Amino acid sequence: MRIIGGKYKSRVLASFDGDAVRPTADRVKESLFNILSLRFYGARVLDLFSGSGALGLESLSRGAKEAVFNDCSKDSVALLRKNLKTLKIAEGSEAKVYTLDALVCLSGLKEPFDIIFIDPPYRLEVGAQAIEKIAKRGLLKRDGVLIFERDRAFEGEIVGLEKYDERKYGKTVLTFFRVKENEA
């Protein structure tokens, strides 16, 4: 696993051995970051199910001013901290790290984000619950984007948000949400 673009381009990140944790594939990540390319400079980013932190770290590499990372797994957070150290990113300045249940983390966040990554384990249904909580608490900025990664298309509605794009890459589906115009 590596950083694809920006100031940390080509830096190799530590990742989990085996297949217990499913990181976003480099091909999917490259496509995603090309789609979002103009949104990163000065952005505030939330990587809610961060795992090794690859999405948030890529965002910082491309000019985000702050990334908030959360994962309920202590092993994932330990790996994230190792990657922060490798890139010489000080925790607390550009990067804030939490080890909480995703819904608990969202309850404690105060300021909205420009970009939110929701990439939970595919077998769990907590992703849609997290998106509902984000919408209810107003944690996505009016012109922000929320990206939900999972193994199937998103069905249903989220009050306050609208699905405006969906892309399939092999077994991975990226669903893009924004604040509904009449909600902004």
- Pull the structure tokens for residue 112: 């909205």
**In this structure, which long-range contacts are made by residues 5-12, counting pairs with CB atoms below 8 Å and at least 24 apart in sequence?**
5/33, 5/58, 5/61, 5/62, 6/40, 6/58, 6/60, 6/61, 6/62, 6/63, 7/61, 8/57, 8/60, 8/61, 8/87, 9/61, 11/61, 11/86, 11/87
Q: What is the structure's pLDDT at 137?
A: 97
* Nearest C-alpha neighbor of 51 from the set 1, 90, 94: 1
Question: Encoding tokens for residue 45?
Answer: 């980013």
Report all structural domains of the chain as residue ranges with CATH numbers, in order of start. 28-152+162-183 (3.40.50.150)
Whether the pLDDT of residue 28 is over 80: the answer is yes
- Residue 90 is inside which H or E element, if any? none
Instruction: Report helix, strand or coil for 150.
Output: strand
How many other C-beta atoms lie within 10 A of the C-beta of residue 73?
A: 17
The per-residue pLDDT for range 138-181, each reduced to its tens digit, is 999 999 999 999 999 999 899 999 999 999 999 999 999 999 98
Question: What is the reported pLDDT for 146?
Answer: 98
For residue 22, the model assigns a pLDDT of 56
Residue 122 has a pLDDT of 79
Torsion, Cα of 31, 39, 114, 24 (10° steps): 20
Rounded to the nearest 10 degrees, the angle between the axes of helix 26-35 and helix 54-61 is 40
- Is the separation of the CB atoms in 96 and 66 below 8 Å? yes
pLDDT of res. 23:
64
